[in-house]
């Protein structure tokens, strides 16, 4: 009987030594930034970042869970061991150094149906909202604070089409139920390919955002002792990563050639600023 007790004790000790703390990563159905379905599953920019960080942090058991923005913020505010890799700088959490850059939101439109917009380099939202027959589709709770402040002026207008589900909004756009969207171009381009759409869409810069060259994106974790420890480790991984030649590859993968060229310029000029 003594050997049974010793065996049980050794099993308990081994279990305690092998059990890892769980780190839950928030993901969301938002291709090509997160790709949860189809042949490109796991190939999104932030899917790849999660994989990279998870490999470098073997002391944790890494899990993913689908959560919307409100849910993940609530979890982090509650101190849950939840982090996510696509937080903008105004997120209320403890943030890492920048893990990537996003080009700002743009006005996406059908270049065939709206030829008057084709030669414009930028346009103001106020200009578009003054056109009574021009409907703008907006996705709820998906924009930076600066852009939300601009949009708040027009939410009561009849040509301001607010939609909680951004996938539904994109389908509305392709079905021509709205004339334009406010979105990141890679999202539309990926959806167009995924849905096998043939629309000749184009995009214009938003004048109200003309001072914004790019949006830094960060890992976010709860603002507590656990979160600070994880973020400190992530920061070191991101700093070490910049010594390699290929860290930009998956960050640029889903952008068109023109956007890739512009983003490379910003990465070369600014990405190391917070990593010294």
Reported as a pLDDT band with limits 50, 70 and 90, residue 2 is very low
- Same domain for 83 and 133? no
Residue 5 counted as domain residue: no
Q: Is the pLDDT of residue 151 over 80?
A: yes
In this structure, are 136 and 153 located in the same domain? yes
Q: Is residue 13 part of a domain?
A: no
- Give residue 37's pLDDT: 92
Considering the domain architecture, whether residues 205 and 222 belong to the same structural domain is answered as no
Same domain? 66 vs 195 = no
The percentage of residues in the chain with a pLDDT greater than 70, rounded to a whole number, is 93
For 240-252, write each residue's pLDDT tens digit: 999 887 899 999 9
Q: What is the pLDDT of residue 4?
A: 46
| pLDDT, mean over the chain | 90
User: Where are the extended beta strands (E) located within 129-194?
Assistant: 136-139, 160-163, 180-183
User: In this structure, is residue 153 part of a structural domain?
Assistant: yes
DSSP 186: H
Band the pLDDT of 15: cuts 50, 70, 90: very low
Q: How many domains does the chain have?
A: 2
pLDDT in tens, 188-238: 989 998 889 999 999 999 999 988 899 999 999 999 999 999 999 999 999
Determine, yes or no, domain membership for 273: no
Cα 259 from Cα 103, distance rounded (Å): 8
Contact 190, 32 (CB under 8 A): yes
Give the position of tokens 């027009």.
154
- Claim to verify: residue 136 and residue 70 sit in the same structural domain: no
**Tell me, what's the pLDDT at 199?**
92
233 & 165 share domain: no
Mean pLDDT, rounded, for 49-73 = 95
pLDDT beyond 70 at 176: yes
Q: Is 74 part of a structural domain of the chain? A: yes
Whether 2 is in a domain gets the answer no
pLDDT, position 96: 98
Q: Are residues 114 and 145 in the same domain?
A: yes
Least confident span in 52-66, 76-90, 149-163: 149-163
Is 276 within a domain? no
59: exposed, middle or buried (C-beta count within 10 Å: 0-12, 13-18, 19+)?
Answer: exposed
Domain that holds residue 70: 21-99+216-255
CA 133-201-152 angle, to 5 degrees, is 50
Mean pLDDT of 135-142: 86
Paired tokens of 18: 């092998």
- Which residue in 210, 261, 221 sits closest to 99, CA to CA? 221
Residues 113 and 205 in one domain: yes
pLDDT above 60 (res 6): no
- For the sheet containing 94-102, what is the strand order? 60-66, 21-27, 82-88, 215-221, 94-102
Per the domain annotation, does 67 fall within a domain? Answer: yes
Question: How, if at all, do strands 94-102 and 122-123 pair?
Answer: unpaired
pLDDT in tens, 63-110: 999 998 889 999 999 999 999 999 999 999 999 999 999 999 999 999
What pLDDT, on a 0 to 100 scale, did the predictor assign at position 19? Answer: 78
Q: How confident is the model at residue 16 (pLDDT cuts 50, 70, 90)?
A: very low
Q: Counting every residue, how long is the chain?
A: 276
CATH of the domain at 53: 3.40.190.10
């Amino acid at each position: 009987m003594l050997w049974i007790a010793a065996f049980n004790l050794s099993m308990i000790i081994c279990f305690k030594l092998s059990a890892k703390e769980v780190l839950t990563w928030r993901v969301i159905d938002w291709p090509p930034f997160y790709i949860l379905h189809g042949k490109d599953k796991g190939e999104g920019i932030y899917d790849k970042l999660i994989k990279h960080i998870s490999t470098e942090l073997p002391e944790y058991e890494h899990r993913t869970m689908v959560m919307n923005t409100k849910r993940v913020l609530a979890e982090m505010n509650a101190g849950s061991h939840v982090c996510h890799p696509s937080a903008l700088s105004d997120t209320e959490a403890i943030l890492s150094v920048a893990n990537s850059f996003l080009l700002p939101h743009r006005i996406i439109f059908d270049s065939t149906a709206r030829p008057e917009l084709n030669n414009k380099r930028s346009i103001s939202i106020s200009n578009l909202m003054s056109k009574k027959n021009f409907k703008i589709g907006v996705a709820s709770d998906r924009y930076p604070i600066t852009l939300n402040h601009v949009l708040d002026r027009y939410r009561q207008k009849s040509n301001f089409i607010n939609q909680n589900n951004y996938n539904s909004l994109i389908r509305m756009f392709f079905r021509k139920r709205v004339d334009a969207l406010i979105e990141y171009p890679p999202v539309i381009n990926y959806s167009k390919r995924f849905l096998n759409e043939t629309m000749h869409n184009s995009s214009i810069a938003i004048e109200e955002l003309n001072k914004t060259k790019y949006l830094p994106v960060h890992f976010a974790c709860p603002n507590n002792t656990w979160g600070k420890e994880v973020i400190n480790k992530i920061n070191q991984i991101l700093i070490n990563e910049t010594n390699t030649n290929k860290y930009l590859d998956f960050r640029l993968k889903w952008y068109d050639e023109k956007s890739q060229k512009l983003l490379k310029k910003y990465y070369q000029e600014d990405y190391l600023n917070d990593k010294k």
